Amino acid sequence: MPYSAVTARLPFIAHYIALQRVLALLLLETMPDQQMATPEEILARAIAQFNGWRFWECHETLEDIWRAEESDLADLYQGVIKLAAGFHHLLRGNHNGAVIVLRGALPLLDPFRPACLGINVQRLIAEASECLRHLEELGPERLGEFDRALIPAIHVAAENPREARSQ
């Protein structure tokens, strides 16, 4: 594109960028501030995002509490983050990325069986493992045949989402 054609579009581009910034600020005003939310509220938001197949948002929501967690719960958060990332790759058609990240998620979740923080970890591992097995069986060539109904949801295991890990 000639230089003059680019410069002619600069006002439109500047207007578009300004509009995007305004929309982002409006969106931030309507969203609860993650800095002020409790870990339980953040986890509940991440679970809703995961179950709504908004996997990238789930990953982003959990990132801060995962990094801030100083106990072994950091592995639980990281396991959910990796599951979300794996399913994000799957939905984007990245077979290898999905398989690698899902394989890394399962060992992180394993110590939290059967349940932790109200999450039915046992069921999540079983369903994610079945999903991974099916992905590996199909291979990258047949990824289009993957049954998306196999993508698990995170199910609540207890009445109290603040419940400590079940032993």
CA-wise closest residue to 157 among 166, 167, 147, 146: 166
Cα 32–40–108 angle (5° rounding)? 120
Domain spans in the chain, listed from the N-terminal domain onward: 1-31, 35-150
167 residues of the chain, pLDDT tens digit each: 454 554 455 555 555 555 555 444 444 444 455 567 899 999 999 999 999 999 999 999 999 899 999 999 999 999 999 999 999 999 999 999 999 999 999 999 999 999 999 999 999 999 999 999 999 999 999 999 999 999 999 998 865 444 444 43
Q: Which pLDDT belongs to residue 161?
A: 42
Superfamily grouping for domain 35-150: TTHA0068-like (1.10.3450.10)
Contact 108, 88 (CB under 8 A): no
